[in-house]
Structure 1
Amino acid sequence: MTTISAENASKALEFKNQGNAFIKEKDYTNAVECYTKAIELDDSQSIFFSNRAFSHLKLDNFQSSLHDCDSAIRLDSGNIKAYHRRGLAYIGLLEFVKARKDLRVVLRSKPNEPTATRALEVCEKFIREEKFRKAISGSDNEVKVNLCATVQLSSFDGNADITKYEGPKLSLEQLIDEKSSPAGAKITNMSQEFVSSLVNDIFLKGKNLPKKYVAAIISHAERLFRQEPTVVELDNTSETDFKISVCGDTHGQFYDVLNIFKRFGKVNSKHTYLFNGDFVDRGSWSCEVAILFYCLKILFPNRIFLNRGNHETNNMNKIYGFEDECKYKYSARIFEMFSQSFESLPLATVINNKYLVMHGGLSSDPNVDLNDFKKIDRFSQPPRDGPFMELLWSDPQVANGLGPSQRGLGFAFGPDITASFLSKNKLSKIFRSHEVRMGGVEFEHNKKLVTVFSAPNYCDAQGNLGGIIHVVPGMGIVNQNGNDDEDLIVDTFESVSHPDIKPMAYSNGGLGF
């Protein structure tokens, strides 16, 4: 082992203490930097690695957290915090059997430790469900029933929530197929008045819609999503008074979503919105955000669009709160309908044949182009590798080429990969989301790639601004918030107040990410 000088050991301890201070301030990015400096000076301290692992967990960098935990345990096999954090990192990587092993180590040392106990329960649940799926399917060719397309509205009529409901009314039509079997639902009177009343008289008063209404809304919206291509194409080059606004992650921050519409304009015939994935999970109003977006989709099918994010997936919803919130406010059946509707969401959007918008990043395969994205069969849960997954998970990096993902899924791709893809596909820029940017919007990769994140003060902790990009051909504002494009306006905004309900308030997992 390399001998550590007393001077370096002392300096390393100072950086470690600075990292601890940043953690108390919930500034996990700077905490990582401080622990990294400590490790560079003294790599013999297990706690330096386990503390950095904690910071990486908070940043969703599960692979990096895992590596740090491995190092911490090699240095000190009795570092129980490292086992605990490695167990949580494995959960983030969806490696539930490995997570269970580490969490059992924690609980042997600290019986009934609450976070480890809840995390172990989550692992056991996932493992049981996976065994059950394999047992009932018998093969990989299991036929899945589309609940959105087969919902029978009359099955909700016995619920007390519909018989006692006194809010704004919807007219529902039960669709049937050629065999007179249920074939989904249609809403025939969706209106701006209903949406306004939904927000002001239901959601802002802490109330819920009847499950029958929610099922019909999901069914109708899912049918609209299913009819759209995997890569949607939008264009406003011929209309000077027509704006397309691109928002990033909103993560169940309903009050901030309402503020977006208040500040920048509502969806209407001259204003299209594209929400670029991750509109559920984390925040405690994910149901409200999803239902609002779906109602707007029904009302303005050609003026609001949703790209799928990595959190519009089953595993993420089970870990990060949407499933539990949905079951608390509505039912397991409503969650399953939402889950299947997410499978119908497009994966990307091209605006004005210039801008490609997707949640995560580009493919690690240099031969994959835009036409390959268009051919992806998206109607499923995403695989663990390939372009489908990478569109949802990958992140940009500063260095050229490909690098490992700190998250553990997808890859990190460099400026050269972005430039090559844009050139090959005759595009100008990539808009993506997926990562907090303190300024709300950040131009990267020689300004060929823009990250836009629209959940200000993310999880009530980050202190970041929210961002939004408006596509307005010939009417942009150059040099505003880093913008270099005369067709874009880049705005930022702060968070607004909301009721005192913490993020993931309805989650039974409580994993502490």
Structure 2
Amino acid sequence: MTAATVLVGPERTMSADSQSRADELKQQGNTAFKEKHYALAQQFYTKALDVDPANPQLWANRAFAAIRLEEFGSAIADASKALELDPKYAKAFYRRGDASYALGHFKDAVRDFRAAIRLAPSDPDLRRKLAESEKEVKRQAFEQALAMPDEASVSEQVVLEEITVEDSYTGPRMEADESGQLRATLDFVRAMLAAFKDEQLIHRRYAMEIILQAQAILKALPSLVDVDIPQGTELTVCGDTHGQFFDLLRIFDLNGLPSETNPYLFNGDFVDRGSWSVEIILTLLAFKCLYPAHMHLTRGNHEAKSMNTIYGFVGEVKAKYTAQMADVFRETFCWLPLGYVLGGKVLVVHGGPPVQCNASLDQVRKYDRNREPPEDGPMCEMLWNDPQDQPGMLPNKRGVGVAFGPDVAKRWLESQGLQMVVRSHEVKEEGFEVAHDGYTITIFSAPNYCDQMGNKGAFIRFDSDCTPSFTQFDAAPHPNKRPMAYAAGAWASML
């Protein structure tokens, strides 16, 4: 070994200059990570790997950055590469277990956490995560054992009349219409928003009324809904809101409440992550009840049981209301449409168009959406796909769906007579991004996502010609409650 060469690990040597450069890039990545600039950290780790590709720690570090960016497929690949280089690297098992859990692959997570514990037996966080993963494996097995083909839905078993509104309840009250049915009026919804802002809940009876009435409206819709924008009017499209209720109020402050003259489309991922998901979804469903033809809601990948179990929504509903209500929400999510076509020109969908399976608009309209999202096919793609800069299609970094290039977007849109796709699903620093020569727009409406990303939020207004205009906004102040406050304790750190 020469003076210009250093030993950096078993059977690994590199020049002193290269080692110094790799260490410098790694440190820059670590600094960016600590400052929560995860995409920048990922870039530094990638550059370091270009210099030192046999360094398992760099692969594990990049996997950690990918987890924070919700690129779980990439995280699994990077952690696996680290384990190829060092089969006894506990942190790589840890990272791969985290990514597998995030995708709902609980058996894989159990395997990796057990392996990590054998190598690092004194780590309490590993033991908590293993216990939580084992619990989920048992829950899945129990639910599968109980499942019956024609089992009655939980929603159908709710007897609203048996939910008594106590005289001691001082919050907003629904009034009965001429038929005796309790209904959400605009006055009630305004009072509900004020109560939520003061961190007060509405009564369980009224919450159930809203959910079940909205569910009935959603059931009557096709899986792909056509929406006209009459001359002289506009429609507002919002992206992910993720339980950030006080930012939803900011949207309404800037753009007005939903109404027959101020229609909205919220493009999925209403819940999880943020700790006011109950308040957001009840608000949106209440406006759906008030204005069925002017409040539109798309299903996102987080309107799914697997995501809600991990990222806090189920825990939040149980804490604020009941386990039964969590099941009623789950069944309601299964009736959310998969997408909307605005003015015959613009597809609005949470993830992206179904380009890999090449499903047509007519096929999507007839699709049976009343289910948990499958792992392939049009529903999976519409909830999970992401755009990429390079041409063609690749497996998605998230580990679900595909990444589609500008050529793929253009070809599919033109085959369906569409001008563009508007999708959400990804944090954008400016709150929106116009890509693929204008064929693909991303809109994201959760500013300073999870209180740490520093991004702006944005929404789009479309006129009757389907010309978009963008409004950006900053995060609103909110009470001191951390994101994922209702997630299982071991997973609240996955931010």
TM-score by length of 1: 0.90
Whether 2:161 is the aligned partner of 1:164: answer no
Q: Which residue of 1 aligns with 2:216?
A: 223
Q: 1:117 aligns with which of 106, 109, 127?
A: 127
2:184–2:210 contact (8 Å) kept in structure 1: no
Q: Which residue of 1 aligns with 2:185?
A: 191
Unaligned runs of 5+ in 2: 1-10
1:189 is matched by which residue type in structure 2? R
1:333 is matched by which residue type in structure 2? Q
Cα distance in structure 1, aligned partners of 2:257 and 2:336: 22
Q: Which residue of 2 aligns with 1:415?
A: 406
Cα distance in structure 1, aligned partners of 2:296 and 2:256: 16
Q: 1:368 aligns with which of 359, 362, 366?
A: 359
- Measure how far apart 1:249 and its partner are: 0.3
1:187–1:216 contact (8 Å) kept in structure 2: no
Q: What is the aligned length?
A: 483
Cα distance in structure 2, aligned partners of 1:199 and 1:112: 47
1:394–1:411 contact (8 Å) kept in structure 2: yes
Cα distance in structure 2, aligned partners of 1:509 and 1:124: 14
- Measure how far apart 1:163 and its partner are: 4.5
Q: 2:113 aligns with which of 103, 106, 109?
A: 103
1:187–1:220 contact (8 Å) kept in structure 2: no
Q: Which residue of 1 aligns with 2:320?
A: 329
1:252–1:287 contact (8 Å) kept in structure 2: yes
Q: 1:492 aligns with which of 458, 467, 472?
A: 472
Whether 2:373 is the aligned partner of 1:382: answer yes
Cα distance in structure 2, aligned partners of 1:305 and 1:218: 15
Unaligned runs of 5+ in 1: 176-185, 475-484
SS at match of 1:199: helix
Cα distance in structure 2, aligned partners of 1:64 and 1:7: 29
Cα distance in structure 2, aligned partners of 1:471 and 1:33: 35
Cα distance in structure 1, aligned partners of 2:360 and 2:183: 41
Q: Which residue of 2 aligns with 1:142?
A: 149
1:468–1:492 contact (8 Å) kept in structure 2: yes
2:355–2:412 contact (8 Å) kept in structure 1: no
1:308 is matched by which residue type in structure 2? R
SS at match of 2:376: coil
Q: 1:503 aligns with which of 478, 483, 488?
A: 483
Deviations 1:130-167 (A, max 9, x none): 21233223xxx71232333442113323xxx7453111
Cα distance in structure 2, aligned partners of 1:12 and 1:300: 58
Aligned-residue CA RMSD (Å): 1.9
- Measure how far apart 1:422 and its partner are: 1.3
1:378–1:388 contact (8 Å) kept in structure 2: yes
- Measure how far apart 1:87 and its partner are: 0.5
1:361–1:391 contact (8 Å) kept in structure 2: yes
Whether 2:86 is the aligned partner of 1:76: answer yes
SS at match of 2:325: helix
TM-score by length of 2: 0.94
Distance 1:107 1:3, change over 3 A: closer
SS at match of 1:4: strand
Segment of structure 1 superposing worse, 367-376 or 321-330:
367-376
Q: Which residue of 1 aligns with 2:457?
A: 466
- Measure how far apart 1:111 and its partner are: 4.3
- Measure how far apart 1:282 and its partner are: 0.2
Q: Which residue of 1 aligns with 2:249?
A: 258
Cα distance in structure 1, aligned partners of 2:17 and 2:118: 38
- Measure how far apart 1:127 and its partner are: 1.3
Q: Which residue of 2 aligns with 1:47?
A: 57
Deviations 1:60-116 (A, max 9, x none): 111111111112122223321111111111112222111101112233444464432
Q: Which residue of 1 aligns with 2:7?
A: none
1:216-365 alignment runs, 5 A limit: 216-236=209-229, 238-240=230-232, 242-365=233-356
Cα distance in structure 2, aligned partners of 1:412 and 1:509: 32
- Measure how far apart 1:9 and its partner are: 1.4
Whether 2:46 is the aligned partner of 1:36: answer yes
1:231 is matched by which residue type in structure 2? L
Distance 1:251 1:367, change over 3 A: closer
Whether 2:216 is the aligned partner of 1:206: answer no
SS at match of 2:93: helix
Q: 1:425 aligns with which of 398, 416, 422?
A: 416
Q: Which residue of 1 aligns with 2:8?
A: none
Q: Which residue of 2 aligns with 1:151?
A: 158
1:107 is matched by which residue type in structure 2? I
Distance 1:506 1:162, change over 3 A: farther
1:170–1:187 contact (8 Å) kept in structure 2: no
Distance 1:265 1:112, change over 3 A: farther
